Amino acid sequence: MYLGILDTPELASAAAAQIVFSLFKKEPNAILGVTTGSTPEGLYAELRAAHARGEFTLANSQAFALDEYVGISADHYERYRNVLRRELVGSRNTGLKNENLHSPNGLVSNSAAVAAQYDRDIRDAGGIDLQILGIGSNGHIGFNEPGGSLVSRTHVTPLSRQTILANARFFGHYPRNVPKTCITQGLGTIMEARILLLLAFGENKAEAVAQLAEGPISARWPATITQMHPEVYVVTDAAAASKLELSELYQERWALKFGA
Ligand code: GLP
């Protein structure tokens, strides 16, 4: 695991974007796994800016969403597919084509079948080259909440109370308006991506980041499973790194790989 600690979310997003750009220099058709939430917004802005400069494009790529709410209406502003369309799709964004943005279909009643199909779709496309991730303050990635299987496949699952409260800010601050169920790539699915790029900003992520890097691998903190992945980049701001014991060591390793 490489852990980069940058002063601000802006600098961290720029550093994360460089990791995406260096992959696309080598593999212009790379397949991206994309997440939602506030955390990746700066990274997506970097990708859009690079696209506007003609230096980067997803025009020839496919992207797979990490998760989706179940039972949310097709045109809901917070439906993850719609969020990702606004952030990434189209020539004014990153060039990604709408038909190349894949997301679990949370609109149908048989979401278990949808979940199984989603894993097959990822596999049939050749697998995800780089999966962008955020992290919940309770250590969840995607919607893999504490206590779940560390080897799960894409599946339907209820949201924890903590996550419903955290996501209420996207639903007029009314927890009752947050969907109670979602489809998420499982931890086993996420671990099959060839590169993981996880971003975390702010003090409320500090405990989760400390556990992610330094805690025992445990379903209590689902993101700890990424310690078993061969190529993980965790990029944080100073606040999210504030509970790490070995931050100096991580800074040294990061500087050796990417320059100071
Ligand atoms: C959500 C998403 C996660 C995301 C996390 C953190 O519930 N399902 O994929 O990483 O919560 O969100 P944020 O980046 O807004 O803090």
pLDDT tens-digit map of 188-224: 999 999 999 999 999 999 999 999 999 999 999 999 9
Q: Classify 51 as helix, strand or coil.
A: helix
Pocket test for ligand 1, best of 135, 157, 185, 205 (most atoms within 8 A of CB): 135
Whole-number Å distance between alpha carbons of 24 and 57? 9
Establish whether residue 35 lines the binding site of ligand 1, counting it when its CB lies within 6 angstroms of any ligand atom: yes
**Which residues, given as ranges, of the chain have pLDDT below 70?**
260
Tokens, residue 65: 């969403």
Q: In angstroms, rounded to a whole number, what is the distance separating the alpha carbons of residues 96 and 82?
A: 13
Are 183 and 154 a contacting pair, CB within 8 Å?
A: yes
C-alpha span between 183 and 194 (Å, rounded): 22
Asked whether 222 and 157 are in contact (CB, 8 A), the reply is: no
Q: Tell me which residue has tokens 């390793």.
A: 253
The response to whether residue 13 sits with its C-beta less than 6 Å from ligand 1 reads no
User: pTM value?
Assistant: 0.97
157 lines ligand 1 (CB under 6 A): no
- Between the CA of 37 and the centroid of ligand 1 the distance, in Å, is 4
Whether 67 is in the pocket of ligand 1, judged by its Cβ within 6 Å, is yes
Question: Which protein residue has the closest C-alpha to ligand 1 atom 13?
Answer: 37
Burial class (CB in 10 A: 0-12, 13-18, 19+), 187: buried
For residue 17, count other CB atoms closer than 10 A to its CB: 21
Whether 221 contacts 146, CB under 8 Å = yes
Q: Is 77 exposed, middle or buried (0-12, 13-18, 19+ CB in 10 A)?
A: exposed
> Which amino acid, residue 124?
D
User: Phi and psi (nearest 5°) for 2?
Assistant: -105, 130
Q: How far, in Å, from the CA of 141 to the mean position of ligand 1?
A: 7
Supply the pLDDT for residue 110. Answer: 84
Residue of 82, 138, 144, 167 marked catalytic: 138
The C-alpha angle with vertex 78 and arms to 155 and 173, in degrees rounded to 5, equals 105
